[in-house]
Chain A
Amino acid sequence: MNGIIDLPLWQLVAAYVFVLILLVIVRIKGISREKEILIASVRMTLQLVLTGYLLVAVFGHPSPHYTVLILIAMELFAIFTIIRRTKAKLSIQLKKVIALSMVSGTVTCLLYFLFVVVRISPWYDPQYFIPIAGMIIGNSMTGISLGVARLADGMQTKKHLVEGALMLGATPKMAAKTIVDHAFDAAILPTINSMVGMGIVFLPGMMTGQILSGTSPVTAIEYQIAIMLGILGSVALTVILFVQLGYKTFFNREKQLVNLDD
């Protein structure tokens, strides 16, 4: 091992050359996306720098309060992002279901992962708790976002099929089954696809980060396998909870389709 190559500030700035090249290409091709690329790059940098300082502070003074506070902030950010990203109009009940499935699904998986698989001590150790929570919550957020979009869109565009089924005596569960199944598929497929290509098509970010920071590839792979299974479990659990509770919000007590425009 040659040790870790520290990245001085000017070398980090050199990485922005790629953004400049991209901006030039975009300008030449007449694709009007310069503003978005620039904002995304600056935003990412600022967010990561701030997170870096925050993590240094939290790691320096481990406390259960800070760990729990950061967990709550991540959950809230994820829930608001899912709601904001969805173009379809969402009912209050569906928003509640999003929050409930996100929190219960991710927290259950996180606790299992930290206390049964990794067995961290103390339980709030931020060095493990925060990055693992971030990966589990982030991936579940993407999964639910896709599930919400597919469910809301399906209930709108296939309304006549759902209502047609109700007219024939179907329960709301039967009437919405195809839409619920499609929403589940859409939400879980990206995670499954990324697992299939892992190690062959690409090296996952967490593993690459660990290797670059000097950890043995074997240890990095062990962590990667464990975290991927944790992510799969969390995405599956949050999405199952979401679709199973979510479709019910489109029906009222009389098993009639709710009109969102009312």
Chain B
Amino acid sequence: MFELSDVTYKDILTIDHLRLEKGRVTCIVGESGSGKTTLLRLLNKLISCDRGTITYQGQDILDLDAVLLRRSVVMLPQNPAIYPGNVRDNLAIGLAFAEKLPASDERLRQALAQVNLNKDLDAKSDLLSGGEKQRLALARLMLLEPDVYLLDEPSSALDENTERLIIEALVAAAKDNGKTLIMVTHTRQIAQAYADRTIEISGGRIVSDREARS
């Protein structure tokens, strides 16, 4: 799916070679400031590498239209943007950005249920807690049904129980639909429990790359 060769971004990240396969759950772990988020931003083409090449489905991402790439490879940042309005507006805006058809209220409620967010569609989004906002953003992302999910600490504001529930639902949804999931996580237990592959980054370099034991 993605292949990175001799990639350098400032003095933050250096990757000699990395291949990320389709339909798998890859977890990226490492201490803060090690370059994990930078890797996701490179894959989402929010930034471009200074040196080296990144290919997506065999094509250099420099040759791909950034907007079309981002509609296929969607990223959820650690502090996701919540837009003014209610829960419905925040779910609908993702579909509008990706120029997809609007979803019915039923479908929107389904997406909320998937992330275990029990909120009315008319609830004001700025009154939600940090964890609820994170789940709302996750539901918005899942509605888009992209080919690749790039998730930066998607459960950082959640308690342990909710975190487990959400990640379980997310991984199941991705696996069932043959989607690729690349997730930065600070929780090694999450990586151990759900990842097909765990990559550890330290000081801007990959220091370990392990397949999950089946």
CB pair B48 A255 closer than 8 Å: no
Question: Residue B71 contacts which of A160, A161, A169, A256 (CB distance < 8 angstroms)?
Answer: A169
A151 to B153 CA separation, bound complex (whole angstroms): 31
> Is B28 engaged at the interface, CB distance under 8 Å to the other chain?
no
> Is B140 engaged at the interface, CB distance under 8 Å to the other chain?
yes
A161 to B89 CA separation, bound complex (whole angstroms): 14
Q: Which of A144-165 contact B (CB under 8 A)?
A: 160-161, 163-165
Residue of A nearest to B80 (CB): A164
Residue of B nearest to A253 (CB): B66
Binary B-proximity of A116-136 (CB < 8 A = 1, otherwise 0): 000000000000000000000
> Is A25 engaged at the interface, CB distance under 8 Å to the other chain?
no
Question: Residue B75 contacts which of A161, A167, A254 (CB distance < 8 angstroms)?
Answer: A167
Binary B-proximity of A63-107 (CB < 8 A = 1, otherwise 0): 000000000000000000000000000000000000000000000
CB pair A256 B97 closer than 8 Å: no
Binary A-proximity of B43-67 (CB < 8 A = 1, otherwise 0): 0111110000000000000100111
Which residues does chain B contribute within 8 Å of A168, judged by CB atoms?
A: 70, 74, 93-94, 97-98, 140-141, 144
Interface size of A in residues (CB-CB distance below 8 Å): 17
Interface size of B in residues (CB-CB distance below 8 Å): 28
CB pair B144 A255 closer than 8 Å: no
A166 to B81 CA separation, bound complex (whole angstroms): 11
CB pair B98 A169 closer than 8 Å: yes
Question: Residue B66 contacts which of A160, A164, A255 (CB distance < 8 angstroms)?
Answer: A255
Which residues does chain B contribute within 8 Å of A170, judged by CB atoms?
A: 67, 97-98
Known: A169-B70, A174-B97. A164 touches B45 (CB 8 A): no
> Is A171 engaged at the interface, CB distance under 8 Å to the other chain?
yes
Which residues does chain A contribute within 8 Å of B76, judged by CB atoms?
A: 167
> Is B77 engaged at the interface, CB distance under 8 Å to the other chain?
yes
Which residues does chain B contribute within 8 Å of A167, judged by CB atoms?
A: 44, 46, 70, 74-77
Question: Residue A256 contacts which of B46, B65, B94 (CB distance < 8 angstroms)?
Answer: B46
CB pair B45 A169 closer than 8 Å: no
Closest chain-B Cβ to A258's Cβ sits at a distance in Å of 11
Question: Residue A164 contacts which of B71, B81, B96, B99 (CB distance < 8 angstroms)?
Answer: B81
Residue of B nearest to A167 (CB): B75
> Is B187 engaged at the interface, CB distance under 8 Å to the other chain?
no
CB pair A166 B77 closer than 8 Å: no
Residue of A nearest to B70 (CB): A169
CB pair A254 B66 closer than 8 Å: yes
A163 to B41 CA separation, bound complex (whole angstroms): 11
A161 to B83 CA separation, bound complex (whole angstroms): 7
CB pair A169 B144 closer than 8 Å: yes
Binary A-proximity of B141-174 (CB < 8 A = 1, otherwise 0): 1001000000000000000000000000000000
Which residues does chain B contribute within 8 Å of A164, judged by CB atoms?
A: 77, 80-81
A34 to B46 CA separation, bound complex (whole angstroms): 51
Known: A167-B75, A168-B144. A160 touches B67 (CB 8 A): no
Q: 7 interchain pairs (CB within 8 A)?
A: A160-B79, A161-B81, A165-B93, A166-B66, A168-B140, A171-B67, A256-B47
Footprint of A on B, CB under 8 Å? 44-48, 62, 65-67, 70-71, 74-77, 79-81, 83, 93-94, 96-99, 140-141, 144
